[in-house]
A and B are shown apart, each in its own frame.
Chain A
Amino acid sequence: DIEMTQSPSSLSASVGDTVAITCRASQSITTYLNWYQQKPGKAPKLVIYAASSLQSGVPSRFSGSGSGRDFTLTISNLQPEDFATYHCQQSYRTASITFGQGTRLE
């Protein structure tokens, strides 16, 4: 299986800040990388797909970058509703989908 490693595991920030969360794959996954936002007690919500494409309805302060093994989710001008846990997920190996361990933004 492709292992996905996120860093940091948790991140403290304030409204208005710009933050970056990174995700590293154990092998190249080209751009088969998705990011999800999850709030407590809720289902994950797709934020970024194909490494850098913004899901419909997601604010433009969210952006994704990277290819190969290293990826970044950047959130600019943090808003109160952005405080959540973020998960990366690879879809390169569709027979064995894997997720990162999550990054808690608080």
Chain B
Amino acid sequence: QVHLQESGPGLVKPSQTLSLTCTVSGGSISSGSNYWSWIRQPAGKALEWIGRIHTSGSTKYNSSLQSRVSLSIDTSKNQFSLNLNSVTAADTAVYFCARESWEWLPSFDAWGQGTLVSVSS
């Protein structure tokens, strides 16, 4: 049973960079037909997909965030990471990492518990 766990600062100042890491356990990040995604949810609002990365290094980002976001992956540590720069209060949200399975039609079949990141001075 794969397990995902987000880690990183819970408070980021405006204009700075939000950095989070997701550690995958219970399975290799390189196995299967999987991509690794970040999804966020502002309080009381809808889920918003941020982007995905494959172990090949291939990435795809939400066009609304593309200019500010980058994902990276470290297969030796079974981790992938999110950097979101020039943050504002609008980036305050619970951030989830998730496994996107492409074995059939794509779906997010495993999620981290989520971590709240607040943007405030």
Interface pair B49/A99, CB less than 8 Å apart: yes
Among A31, A42, A101, which residue has its beta carbon within 8 angstroms of that of B113? Answer: A42
B55 nearest CB across to chain A (Å): 17
B20 nearest CB across to chain A (Å): 14
Binding site for A on B (CB under 8 A): 37, 45-49, 60, 62-63, 96, 98, 104-109, 111-114
Main secondary structure of the interface of A (DSSP, over half): loop
Taking A55-B109, A94-B60, A97-B49 as known contacts, 18 extra A-B pairs with beta carbons closer than 8 A to each other, sorted by chain A number, are A32-B106, A42-B113, A42-B114, A43-B96, A43-B98, A43-B111, A43-B112, A44-B111, A49-B107, A53-B104, A89-B47, A89-B108, A91-B106, A91-B107, A96-B49, A96-B62, A97-B37, A99-B48
Is A34 located at the chain interface by the 8 A CB criterion? yes
Binding site for B on A (CB under 8 A): 1, 31-32, 34, 36, 42-46, 49-50, 53, 55, 87, 89, 91, 94-102
B-side contacts of A49, CB under 8 Å: 104-105, 107, 109
A98 to B111, CA, bound (A): 17
Given known pairs A42-B113, A45-B111, the reply for A99 and B46 (CB within 8 Å) is yes
A95 to B63, CA, bound (A): 9
B110 nearest CB across to chain A (Å): 8
Q: Which residue of A lies closest to B114 (CB)?
A: A43
